[in-house]
Amino acid sequence: MVYADLHVHTTASDGLLSLDEIIEEAKHKDISVVGITDHDTINPGLVEREETIDGVGIVTGTEVKTEHMGTRIEILCYFVDPEDNELEEIFENMRRRRIERMKKMVERFNELEETVLRLREVEELADGPVGRPHFAMAVANKGLAKDTREAFDNYAKEHTPYYVPLERPDVKKVIRRAKRSGAFTSLAHPCTEDIEDFETFLESLAELGLDGCEVNYPYRESPKDMELDPKKVEETVEKVGLVKTGGSDFHDRKDFTLGSGGVGKKTLEKMRNSVEL
């Protein structure tokens, strides 16, 4: 089992477990540190950049949806100050864009289906920013799928007629603001992104201030198609000279297992030492 799982979602975004439940899960699996990386928000239960809750180390983070060179990617930000950071404007804009996107998805659903879905039925399922998993839950609640996973595959994935893309901020702005907030930044799950020239892509991100790249990730458990070879990605990360980060991308117990990806103590210390705490 890994020392630190640095990619974990809670009910503050699209995870199904609360912060307290994540902590209990970590204790059960003997994971020393967990990075809380909810989408485009910081879990409201966190008050320090790094803290210990009930014996489990917590790294305060976020996973920001962004775009670079025409490719949609996500940037993990670690050791973010929840009380004072420069990402709040981005978060607020993303909340607005998510609501507008969800309105359009609900409209498309109602145009194509006989069952009526209301926006509030989706929003009521979200403790934080509303997203496609909440849309899928609402559809499943209508009895149109056996569970949320099936509903997501049939009604919320990119290939479906209900899907509406989410407008994203440019990666330069995201990295710049994260770094000004004292954060460590890392490219999330690169092997699931359709990147034509990964080395050039990663080098350009490094020039913008990117610190790391997620390498130890449970790709075999992922429902997404792999676009890049994990081994070649790891070799490229080493060549470019970035820190190899890792995490499980945990959302619920049905899919990825907490601790199925992560880093050792030395890597976490390297990340910690690279920022001013």
* pLDDT (tens digit per residue) in 184-224: 999 999 999 989 899 999 999 999 999 999 999 999 887 77
- Find the length of the chain: 277
Check whether residue 120 and residue 67 sit in a common domain: no
Q: From 71, 105, 78, select the one nearest 193 (Cα to Cα).
A: 71
Check whether residue 101 and residue 64 sit in a common domain: no
Q: What is the largest CA-CA distance in the chain?
A: 56
What CATH number corresponds to the domain at position 105? Answer: 1.10.150
Chain centroid to Cα 150, Å, comes to: 21
Check whether residue 86 and residue 100 sit in a common domain: no
- The reply to whether 243 falls in a domain is yes
Check whether residue 85 and residue 193 sit in a common domain: yes
Q: From 82, 92, 102, 100, select the one nearest 42 (Cα to Cα).
A: 82
Residue 47: both structure tokens together: 């008050």
The CA distance from 113 to 253, in Å, is: 31
Check whether residue 13 and residue 86 sit in a common domain: yes
CB-based contacts of 6: which residues, under 8 Å, 6+ apart?
Answer: 33, 34, 35, 37, 59, 61, 76, 78, 245, 246, 247, 262, 263, 268
| Mean pLDDT, residues 121-131 taken together | 90
Q: Which residue has the higher pLDDT, 19 or 226?
A: 19
**Confidence label for 75 from pLDDT (cuts 50, 70 and 90):** very high
Using the structure block, give the residue that is written with the tokens 């809380």. 36
- The reply to whether 168 falls in a domain is no
For residue 66, the model assigns a pLDDT of 96
- The reply to whether 165 falls in a domain is no
Paired strand residues for 5:
34
The pLDDT mean for the chain works out to: 94
For residue 255, the model assigns a pLDDT of 67
Q: Is the pLDDT reported for residue 258 higher than 80?
A: yes
Q: Is the pLDDT reported for residue 253 higher than 80?
A: no
- The reply to whether 161 falls in a domain is no
The CA distance from 176 to 156, in Å, is: 31
Residue 113: both structure tokens together: 């289906």
Percentage of the chain modeled with pLDDT above 70: 99
Q: From 250, 73, 101, select the one nearest 174 (Cα to Cα).
A: 73
Check whether residue 78 and residue 183 sit in a common domain: yes
Helix (H) or strand (E) segment spanning residue 75: strand 71-78
Percentage of the chain modeled with pLDDT above 90: 86
| Mean pLDDT, residues 134-158 taken together | 94
pTM of the entire predicted model: 0.89
For residue 83, the model assigns a pLDDT of 87
pLDDT per position as a tens digit, 39-49: 999 999 999 99
For residue 16, the model assigns a pLDDT of 87
Identity (one letter) of the amino acid at 170? D
The CA distance from 188 to 204, in Å, is: 15
What CATH number corresponds to the domain at position 242? Answer: 3.20.20.140
Check whether residue 85 and residue 52 sit in a common domain: yes
What is the domain extent for residue 117? 96-156
Q: Is the pLDDT reported for residue 1 higher than 80?
A: no
Q: Is the pLDDT reported for residue 277 higher than 80?
A: no
